[in-house]
Amino acid sequence: MTEMTTSAQHLQVLALTVFLVCAAAVTPAALAQQQQLPGCPDKCGDISIPYPFGIGARCARGQYFELECNRAYSPPRLIVSTHRQHLVNLSLADGEAIALINAKRQCYNSTEGLVTDANVNKEVTLYGSNAYRFSAARNRYVALGCPNMGYFVDGTGFYVSGCTSFCRPSQGSGASGASTGGCTGEGCCQSRIPTNTDYYEQYIQTFKPGEGDPILRGGTTACRYVFMAEDKWIDTTYRDTPMFNRTDDFAVPVVLNWAIRNVANCDIAKRNRTDYACQSDNSGCVDSIDGPGYRCNCSQGYEGNPYLIGGCKAYLLELVLS
């Protein structure tokens, strides 16, 4: 009798275990949901806010990771408290954030006299938070419209990167925009940017009609722009709708890389276990590739938030399927 009860109980326990494993396995997303400290908001509109980021001082890992959710906008806007950039995406897995940043615009009359210098975003900065850098791998610097030599300088005033954009005489004002298959020099050009960039000051240089090499005396557009942009945006959105002839203000996605940067790398970070950001068991440390610092990831077979105690959970779906 006792034996039968025991085996019945075993069966129940087994059934319950199988049920729990299956329930957990079919909802792996539920495991990944705990992304914040207790009592801290984990969303701003549709954007997830995983720790070390947080809304307000109590919820973030120090001031560099503090965010604000501005509900005066619909949908609400996620703003970095220190440098005020507007974020539309945050990711723990690849250490990226996507910011929306306005292009700098200048418009000219027929004799290349400056008509409007919106002077918006001449200086674009990530100063105030040492966590972020403009991703050198995922951004390009763009000059749009023609004739346009667009470039940016660093905090000490030295030229960093830029390019020149010209149009054929038939293009530009009054002409239909010929698609050149992307941003390749005609109406739009792009250049690479160096790693470790956290500030840039943008310039637009035009050319007087009749000046310089005749090959540069092509069509003109009313407005010229310079901006940093995500490579994917240039290769898809811009390629599909070349917009060198536009005259309005607009914002483009820019990829920011973030890391824990109060120490140089993982080796140094691991020496102080209370300050070490990779708080979860079954987590690892990855050195930053663009400036000092490190990021954390969950070990193989685990998923979740490596920055939280107990944040990395066994990935049961893989266990069950294997």
Ligand X SMILES: *[C@@H]1O[C@H](CO)[C@@H](O)[C@H](O)[C@H]1NC(C)=O
Contact residues toward ligand X (CB under 6 A) are 88-89, 91, 98, 109-111, 113-114, 173-174, 176-177, 245, 272, 274-275, 284, 286, 297-300
Number of CB atoms found within 10 A of residue 191's CB: 16
Least distance in Å: CB of 260 to ligand X? 11
Backbone angles phi, psi at 246, to 5 degrees: -75, 165
- Nearest Cα neighbor of 260 from 283, 235, 278, 281 is 278
Least distance in Å: CB of 279 to ligand X? 12
Closer by beta carbon to ligand X, 155 or else 301: 301
User: Which of helix, strand or coil describes residue 133?
Assistant: strand
Least distance in Å: CB of 80 to ligand X? 16
User: Which of helix, strand or coil describes residue 61?
Assistant: coil
- Farthest CA pair distance, the chain: 105
Q: Is the peptide bond before 50 cis (omega within 30 degrees of 0)?
A: no
Least distance in Å: CB of 1 to ligand X? 50
Closer by beta carbon to ligand X, 74 or else 274: 274
Closer by beta carbon to ligand X, 155 or else 218: 218
What are the Cα distances from residue 114, in Å, to 189, 206, 223, 317? Answer: 21, 10, 10, 61
Least distance in Å: CB of 284 to ligand X? 5
Nearest residue to ligand X by CB is 113
Q: Answer for the pair 186, 166: CB distance below 8 angstroms, yes or no.
A: yes
Closer by beta carbon to ligand X, 59 or else 146: 146
Closer by beta carbon to ligand X, 155 or else 185: 185
